[in-house]
Structure 1
């Protein structure tokens, strides 16, 4: 599913002085609840272009590049890459856009930011979609991500980029075609001089590894923050082959949240792309409840 919708460039400044970027889709004057799409650890707004194109037919959709990703400014220190700082950046984005309340679609790290936001400013969260993330994260999956985040070199060509991504991920995404992997490469890397370029600050990987070292194998959970979402409709989407969100954690989420729906996307690992038929149907149903 390709993006066709136009968007406006929105630049804003964080509380600690970074120049940050977001794509602004849809009519600013729409009466429907706006959506804010928050990407994964090393990802950016490109991951949401297809979904934003779909949703912006009826509502405003903001897709930020979080600090150190895409077109947003990099931090000087790895220690500034925290979900807490990213949550504050989202509040700055809402202020710059004139939005007081939104439905949040958080993929992986973006879902963690969404749960923090619900705990700190619950009235800002009208609803939440958590894409392959929950209050507990599987340590093996996090170690896998820490193994390549900030450590991967840019491929020499786009063909090599697509091949590398396929070799790394094909087991968990078995139905993707060669064209799909090429499209995923375009979402993963930036382009500079016609060749792929890493599209995030390598210090983000450093921050993740430092955090894992400090945790010493005992990751803190986020059940209190998840419960802060209890006032709002919620949707949790899980990749069938995910090594980040377990089926057991998803079941517990469904038991503990009074207004949550759970959907598992077949033949997807971490994370579903949110252009799958079952994901789109669930998201459309979710927005219809707002």
Structure 2
């Protein structure tokens, strides 16, 4: 994981005083619409370094939610919810001076994008939804619950790479060995005591409500607001979070929506393959 486009690490205090981190990739053309990147549940700002390289003509912000990456961990895991995180996102955007932007949301970040469009419609000028829709499939949530916050003892990063390839290979047959290593470095950190997660393991409590009988909130109402702007919807070919049926329904309800399927990847596409990065760049360049 080595970007040729340097980013500035910035830290701010959330409303409750917790230290938040975000990456700011500056650009020479201040007139370009900035891109705000929001990661998945247990992901970090580092997931978007190749996106930032590909879109070097515009400012890119990539956020670490509380409890992830270089943001501080919260002593109360119940604060790892969409409302608190949304307030944190607004605090980061205010600190960065961003009043309108294109948003790229991976999984949970896409839910945030829809919610932000409803809360502040003028803020979201375009959206890229990475393997997420208004309806989230229960089977995928149950699978995610099995691994979030859990890590067997590992002494070296190479063991983490092997573990990822073994557990995710059926969904990610199209990912190269180099991409697996990059993704592992974005997921784990190697310390003197072994390999550790780059997020608070207490995040797994946010999935306590995920059971085979549970009913989950759908986001068609905020999606309808988002549908007023251009949308690029990405779907991993083998995704168990965004179904083909929901993908089709999104296109039916949003006349400005474009679709791109990432072959050989599941939930969520890693945003490392060149065809997907090129598709994102073309979409952004066509936005007003």
Fold-level similarity (TM above 0.5):
yes
Give the CA RMSD over aligned residues. 1.7
Q: TM-score, normalised by structure 2?
A: 0.95
Moved more, 23-32 or 99-108: 23-32
Q: Which residue is equivalent to 2:210?
A: 212
Partner Cα separation in structure 1 for residue 22 and residue 36 of structure 2:
10
Deviation of the 1:86 alpha carbon: 1.3
Alpha-carbon shift at residue 234 of structure 1 (Å): 0.6
Bigger mean CA deviation after superposition, 145-154 or 123-132? 145-154
- Equivalents in 2 of 1:120, 1:34: separation in Å? 19
Distance 2:189 2:168 in 1: 19
TM-score scaled to structure 1, two decimals?
0.94
TM-aligned CA distance change 1:191 to 1:165, over 3 Å:
same
Q: 2: CA distance between counterparts of 1:48 and 1:256?
A: 28
Residue of structure 1 equivalent to 2:58:
59
Q: Which consecutive segments of 4 or more residues in structure 1 shift more than 3 A?
A: none
Gaps of 5+ in 2: none
Alignment partners' CA distance in 2, 1:60 and 1:146: 34
Q: Equivalent of 1:273, from 267, 270, 273?
A: 270
Match of 1:221 in 2: 218
1:263 equivalent in alignment to 2:264: no
How many pairs does the alignment contain? 287
| Secondary structure, aligned partner of 1:236 | strand
Partner of 1:77: 76
Say whether the 8 Å CA contact 1:233–1:289 is kept in structure 2: no
What's the secondary structure of 2:109's corresponding residue? helix
**Paired residue secondary structure (1:254):** helix
Q: Which stretch shows the higher mean deviation, 102-111 or 195-204?
A: 195-204
2:231 aligned partner: 234
Residue 265 of structure 1 deviates from its aligned partner by 0.8
Distance 1:74 1:155 in 2: 22
